[in-house]
């Protein structure tokens, strides 16, 4: 396994680095195309998706990351990171763009504004539970063919997909990096 990077333009980069470190994985901050070249997998952190998208372009990383994704770069995106990876974004800016690397439709702030942000237990496909932290979270409203649902949240009787995977591309609508539970990062790292 090569090195893992965390996109460090904006957002909760430190928490992802700490979670990876807890798993014994040394990870590097990525803010330039040269730093992106050096990693074999990438985490797109939580943050503001519009700000990160803007900074990807101004940093010269937008196209470079697109090429790496097309070439099969393993990626884990959480919250804002999921929005950047999604094929369709609802309630976004008129000029919202993303990589379309994950065949899901997400609704920005799909659970509401900050006062509706919440914690809830999530159910993994093997039946075990992990803590979920949702902050102005996107809601995954549709999954295309080839998308595997790895965890769900019981939302008023509906099982919302909250952790999905399509080949090497992983997306979570919650923040596994904000809790001490390392399950999601471990599953991602083990897949590399």
**Which residues lie near other proteins (CB under 8 A)?**
8-15, 31, 46-48, 50-51, 54-55, 58-59, 79-80, 91-93, 108-109, 111-121, 133-136, 154, 175, 178-179
Q: Which is nearer to other proteins, 8 or 73 (CB)?
A: 8
In angstroms, the CA 159 to CA 180 distance is 24
Q: Could you tell me the smallest distance in angstroms from the CB atom of residue 123 to other proteins?
A: 11
Work out how close the CB of 182 gets to other proteins at its nearest, in angstroms, rounded to a whole number. 16
Give the strand order in the sheet containing 102-107. 86-90, 102-107, 139-143
- Which of 15, 177, 185, 190 is flagged as catalytic? 177
Is residue 72 classed exposed, middle or buried when 0-12, 13-18 and 19+ CB atoms within 10 A define those classes? exposed
With tokens 């990171």, the residue in question is 81
Please report how close the Cβ of residue 100 comes to other proteins at its closest, in angstroms: 19
- Cβ atoms within 10 Å of 142's Cβ, excluding its own: 14
| 1/14 with CB nearer other proteins | 14
Any catalytic annotation for residue 79? Answer: yes
- The radius of gyration of the chain from alpha carbons, rounded to an integer in Å, stands at 15
Catalytic residue list contains 155? no
Is 143 assigned a catalytic role? no
Least distance from other proteins to the Cβ atom of residue 96, Å: 8
Measure Cα distances from 95 to 91, 98, 136 in Å: 11, 10, 20
Which of the residues 35, 88, 148, 175 is marked catalytic? 175
Nearer to other proteins, 60 or 144 (CB): 60
Check if the beta carbon of residue 19 is closer than 8 Å to that of residue 6.
Answer: no
Pick 32 or 183: Cβ nearer other proteins: 32
**Could you give phi then psi for residue 13, rounded to 5 degrees?**
-65, -45
Containing 190, the helix (H) or strand (E) segment is helix 183-190
Q: Which is nearer to other proteins, 109 or 183 (CB)?
A: 109
Catalytic residue from among 67, 79, 141, 143: 79
CB of residue 191 to other proteins, shortest distance in Å: 26
Which residues are identified as catalytic? 79, 175, 177
């Amino acid at each position: 396994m090569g090195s893992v990077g965390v996109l460090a333009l904006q957002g909760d980069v430190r928490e992802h680095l700490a979670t990876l470190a807890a798993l014994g994985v040394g990870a590097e901050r990525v803010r330039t195309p040269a730093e992106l070249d050096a990693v074999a997998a990438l985490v797109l952190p939580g943050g503001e998706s519009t700000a990160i998208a803007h900074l990807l372009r101004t940093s010269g990383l937008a196209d470079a990351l697109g090429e790496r994704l097309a070439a099969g770069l393993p990626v884990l995106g959480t919250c804002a990171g999921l929005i950047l990876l999604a094929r369709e974004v609802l309630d976004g800016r008129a000029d919202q763009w993303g990589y379309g690397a994950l065949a899901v439709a997400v609704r920005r702030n799909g659970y509401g504004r900050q006062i509706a942000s919440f914690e809830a237990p999530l159910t993994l496909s093997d039946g075990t539970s992990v803590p979920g932290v949702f902050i102005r979270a996107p809601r995954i409203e549709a999954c295309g063919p080839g998308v595997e649902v790895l965890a769900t949240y019981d939302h008023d009787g509906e099982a919302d997909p909250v952790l999905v995977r399509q080949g090497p591309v992983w997306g979570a609508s919650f923040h596994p990096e904000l809790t001490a539970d390392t399950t999601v990062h471990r599953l991602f790292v083990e897949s590399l």
